[in-house]
Structure 1
Amino acid sequence: MSNLTTFSYFILGAYLNVGKLQYFYFSITALLYFVILFVNTSLIVIICVNRSLHEPMYMFLCSLFVNELYGSTGLFPFLLIQILSDIHTISVPLCFLQIFCVHTYGSIEFLNLAVMSYDRYLAICSPLHYKTQMTSNNTAILIIVVWLYGLVKFIINLYLNLRLTLCGNVLNSLYCQNYPVVKLACSDTKVNNIYGVFGIILSLVVPLFPVLFSYMRILKVCFSGSKEARQKSVSTCTPQLVSLLNFFFCSSFEILQSRFDTTSLPSALRIFMSLYFLMMPPILNPIMYGIQMSKIRNVYKRVLCSNISCRRSKA
């Protein structure tokens, strides 16, 4: 049995003493979490309820929004409690559960975006074969693979961490992260470090290949096609490109602040880097897709107008 069991909790050392401002920060964080819940849940319901949106692209979007609810729920309720608390601790089981949620969220997010880029490649570059290749069964299989890939990959990581002997319980972070826990170990962490690098390659580099391949082919079609085809391709792919770039920066922030010494940076910047990974994609993606994609926008308007007319008739 590892010395992990000698600690019943971890201390989170990155929280600042904000005094009376804690209620202000609590309100802002609660509002952000409410926005994330509302916009993601709304779009999931709209896609599931309307048969006109039961297409591969929207099913992948639905998977993306579910993952963003999953990831943000792994952080925000805990963060709200910590903001109001004077003692910033977390039990060992809850810490490892949070690590599991946060890291599987990251893997699933990027792989989901990679599958979405491949879907757009088929739709734009092979439109005649799109319906035969991207069938309902194939779409379901891809979504299942995306989720199983992210979950199984990190179960191995979690097992390796639970075997470590820890010589401390102070984490210099706002929430539990994998590498800061590994750095507390006084036993051999060679296997953990090797698998950690391997995990980054599996999570970021491997999905990057279909992304690069898909968008290189899409750009080729855009430049060789008509003006109308270019406009349609650009309008379809813009949200995904923005999501990919945004998530790339999120991942870079996460890796930098967890694996390197960032104590020389201002506290506000470190907090921003720590939270950006779990805060911006769940807010940005549903709003951007909801505004950019005319089919979702039209269904949303129709639902909203029908609700307003129903209220007027009741009045």
Structure 2
Amino acid sequence: EGWISKRGVQRSSPNFIALQAMDPLLIIFFSFALSAYLLTIVLNAALIMIIAFEKALHEPMYIFLCNLCVNDLCGTTGFYPRALVYLLTETNRISFEECIVQCLAIVMYATGEFTNLSVMAVDRYIAICQPLRYHSIMSPFAVRSLVTFIWIFPFFIGVLAISLALKHPLCRYDMNRLFCEHLTLLNLACKQDIFQGIINGFIYISKAVFVLISYFKIILACRKSKVNQEKFFSTCVPHLISFLNYIACVFFDSSQTEFRAKSLPRMLYTFLTVIFLIVPPVVNPVIYGIKLSPVRAKILIIYSLSCTIYIT
């Protein structure tokens, strides 16, 4: 018994959603995905532990960076385990309930990435443009409030996005992706809702514009001050690189229309649709580990101690 009647009218909720089928060489794909997932966990967990155990790094900038790493781990955990099971068992079916949970995790990750980077941009703007008021503005209460906002807002957006995506009955059950995502769920609905796409586009574009305006003001403030220029290159450049990297990955993902799905090779199309889930979580800890001198110094100390212990 199906969940769609002969006339194509939905009678009940579907029991599963069919994800995009992949080409052969699953062992290679599985090995690559598992290695990428483990690398993501190691890099982000290392940065989180360094910030957590080093009291000198208990400052707003590093606290927000720690939250960014946690968000990256949540996003990749929402994608990789299910994808690994899919590659290992060669099945492309996921239960409807699992699909909703994965949807929520990925929407929270995507929104949380923008939210984290926006808060970090505000923090750097205050630190450079209003240095004398920085500690009074970024008080412990303000930092706790911003951290709460970093997690509450993405959760609210995730619940809202899924609610809107499931507002209309589903008439299809085949996704052209490796994961469940709310915009793709909209395409499965019997009735298309253009307002959902407009709302999502407005949220992401407004955050992107906000971050760009913040950094534009920071650059203007740094033009005549060598001290501010040093602060910009030492602390703002990693944030800006992470932001531009994420924007580029989101652009590649959002530009994959049904036409491109038919015109591009399957492997290339699949990679472009998951690039925003696999690249930023690996790139972010690497960038911050290299560019932020306190973090870099701590990493070098840990590396030296590890080498010493290994040799002895």
TM-score, normalised by the number of residues in structure 2: 0.91
Q: Could you report, residue by residue, the CA deviation over 1:180-217 in whole angstroms, capped at 9, with x for unpaired residues?
A: 2211211x343xx3133212312x12323431232122
Secondary structure of 1:90's aligned partner: strand
Seq. identity, %: 32
In the superposition, relative to structure 1, how do residues 198 and 6 fare at CA in structure 2: closer, same or farther (>3 Å)? closer
Task: Give the structure 1 partner of residue 197 of structure 2.
Answer: 196
**How much has 1:308 moved relative to structure 2?**
5.0
Secondary structure of 2:261's aligned partner: coil
Task: Give the structure 2 partner of residue 22 of structure 1.
Answer: 26
**How much has 1:258 moved relative to structure 2?**
5.7
Q: 1:92 aligns with which of 88, 96, 99?
A: 96
Tell me the amino acid that sits aligned with residue 40 of structure 1. N
Tell me the amino acid that sits aligned with residue 199 of structure 1. N
Alignment check: 8 A CA contact 2:107 2:157 kept:
no
**How much has 1:31 moved relative to structure 2?**
0.6
Structure 2 residue 110 is matched with structure 1 residue 110: no
Task: Give the structure 1 partner of residue 293 of structure 2.
Answer: 294
Secondary structure of 1:10's aligned partner: strand
Task: Give the structure 2 partner of residue 237 of structure 1.
Answer: 236
Structure 2 residue 51 is matched with structure 1 residue 37: no
In the superposition, relative to structure 1, how do residues 132 and 64 fare at CA in structure 2: closer, same or farther (>3 Å)? same
Task: Give the structure 2 partner of residue 206 of structure 1.
Answer: 206
**How much has 1:222 moved relative to structure 2?**
2.0
Partner Cα distance (2:64, 2:12) in 1: 40
Partner Cα distance (1:296, 1:302) in 2: 10
**How much has 1:309 moved relative to structure 2?**
5.0
Q: 1:121 aligns with which of 117, 122, 125?
A: 125
**How much has 1:305 moved relative to structure 2?**
3.5
Number of equivalences: 305
Task: Give the structure 2 partner of residue 53 of structure 1.
Answer: 57
Partner Cα distance (1:90, 1:4) in 2: 20
Structure 2 residue 281 is matched with structure 1 residue 282: yes
Structure 2 residue 158 is matched with structure 1 residue 160: no
CA RMSD, Structure 1 to Structure 2 (Å) = 2.1
* Structure 1 unaligned spans of 5+: none
Partner Cα distance (1:200, 1:132) in 2: 35
**How much has 1:81 moved relative to structure 2?**
1.1
Alignment check: 8 A CA contact 1:4 1:166 kept:
no
Structure 1 runs (4+) deviating above 6 angstroms are none
Partner Cα distance (1:41, 1:156) in 2: 30
**How much has 1:72 moved relative to structure 2?**
0.3
TM-score, normalised by the number of residues in structure 1: 0.90
**How much has 1:164 moved relative to structure 2?**
2.2
In the superposition, relative to structure 1, how do residues 179 and 261 fare at CA in structure 2: closer, same or farther (>3 Å)? farther
* Structure 2 unaligned spans of 5+: 1-8
Partner Cα distance (1:64, 1:245) in 2: 15
Q: 1:11 aligns with which of 11, 18, 22?
A: 18
**How much has 1:271 moved relative to structure 2?**
1.2
Q: Which structure has more RCO (C-alpha within 8 Å, separation ≥ 6)?
A: 1
